[in-house]
């Protein structure tokens, strides 16, 4: 009817999926990201997780924990599950995907790489470590999810600039793989990995500090922008 519209400037956008059952993540899933750290391309997807409590809105602040001095960015394509499934065949995997959105897999590298027994969970799952948005774009509205430019800038400086065609394991392969281990349910979020250009592997390393602004964007999906506080 048009009677219930509000001005965009007067509304605060929340994450398009705010309380999923699972946030499933994939490591080392871009060829250029493997190259920048000098590791072999994985033969199987490397799976880890973030707690849903890490999710925050597309323009909300990222809180810099006092417990880390190595805060890093990772722009990622996120797929959102729309149909329940287990042991999903790769050929039918996209039938279980509702759509896509932009994510920032914020990471505390000291906790990820050296502390907590080198398990990745704690370094990945502080509150506000998963900005998400700005919208959930249905898969029918995306021409080719495996051919989208994907970028991240910090304070206006381009840090990551790649394309989803460089994914090692595409969305159908990831959905099929994960469903071998867990039942995927509507609302589950699958972060598909980040390309080259993260701070920890720069020479010298570059980490986020309070006051920095991180912008993550993916072609056809939109842009999220978060200030570190």
Question: pLDDT digit string (tens) for 111-127?
Answer: 999 999 989 999 999 99
pLDDT beyond 80 at 1: no
Distance CA 47, CA 167 (A): 15
Nearest to 191, CA basis, from 118, 98, 104: 104
Average pLDDT score over residue span 160-168: 98
Domain count, the chain: 1
Residue 4 lies in a domain: no
Per-residue pLDDT at 78: 98
Residue 3 lies in a domain: no
Residue 162 lies in a domain: yes
pLDDT confidence tier of residue 18, bands split at 50, 70 and 90: confident
15-26: b (≥16 Cβ within 10 Å) or e: bbbeebebbbbb
Residue 183 lies in a domain: yes
CA dihedral 182, 51, 49, 149 (to 10 degrees): 110
Taking the alpha carbons of 168, 170, 172, 175 in that order, is the dihedral positive or negative?
positive
DSSP H stretches of helix in 38-140: 109-113, 121-124
169-219 pLDDT, tens per residue? Answer: 999 999 999 999 999 999 999 999 999 999 999 999 999 999 999 999 999
Q: Which domain holds residue 221?
A: 14-228
pLDDT beyond 80 at 229: yes
Nearest to 101, CA basis, from 221, 223, 227: 221
Distance CA 126, CA 71 (A): 11
Per-residue pLDDT at 4: 85
Nearest to 179, CA basis, from 95, 42, 85: 85
User: What percent of the chain is predicted at pLDDT more than 90?
Assistant: 94
**What does pLDDT average to over the chain?**
97
Residue 127 lies in a domain: yes
Distance CA 67, CA 113 (A): 14
Q: How far is CA 16 from CA 19, 138, 141, in A?
A: 10, 12, 16
- pTM of the shown model: 0.96
Contact 178, 184 (CB under 8 A): yes
Per-residue pLDDT at 94: 98
| Residue 173 burial (C-beta neighbours within 10 Å; 0-12, 13-18, 19+) | middle
Nearest to 137, CA basis, from 37, 221, 17, 46: 221
Residue 8 lies in a domain: no
For residue 193, give every residue at least 6 positions away whose Cβ sits within 8 Å of its Cβ, in sequence order, or none: 25, 26, 27, 28, 29, 30, 33, 76, 167, 168
- Structure-token pair, residue 51: 């707690």
Residue 176 lies in a domain: yes
**CATH code of 63's domain:** 3.90.850.10
Residue 7 lies in a domain: no
The residue assigned the tokens 């602004």 is 213
């Amino acid at each position: 009817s048009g009677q219930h519209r509000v001005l965009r400037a007067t509304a605060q956008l929340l994450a398009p999926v705010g309380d999923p059952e699972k946030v499933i993540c994939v490591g080392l899933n871009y060829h250029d990201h493997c190259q920048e750290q000098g590791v072999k391309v994985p033969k199987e997807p490397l799976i880890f997780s973030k707690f849903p409590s890490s999710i925050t809105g597309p323009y909300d602040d990222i809180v810099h924990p006092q417990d880390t001095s190595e805060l890093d960015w990772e722009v990622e394509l996120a797929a959102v599950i729309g149909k329940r499934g287990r042991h999903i065949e790769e050929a039918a995997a996209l039938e279980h995907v509702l759509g896509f959105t932009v994510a920032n897999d914020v990471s505390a590298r000291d906790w990820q790489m050296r502390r907590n027994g080198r398990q990745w969970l704690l370094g990945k799952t502080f509150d506000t470590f998963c900005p998400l948005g700005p919208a959930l774009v249905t898969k029918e509205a995306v021409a080719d999810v495996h051919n989208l430019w994907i970028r991240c800038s910090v304070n206006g400086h381009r840090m990551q600039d790649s394309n989803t065609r460089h994914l090692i394991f595409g969305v159908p392969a990831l959905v099929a793989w994960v469903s071998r281990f867990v039942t995927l349910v509507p609302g589950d979020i699958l972060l598909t990995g980040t390309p080259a250009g993260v701070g920890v592997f720069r020479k010298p390393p570059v980490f986020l500090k309070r006051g920095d602004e991180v912008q993550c964007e993916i072609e056809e999906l939109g842009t999220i922008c978060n200030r570190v506080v």
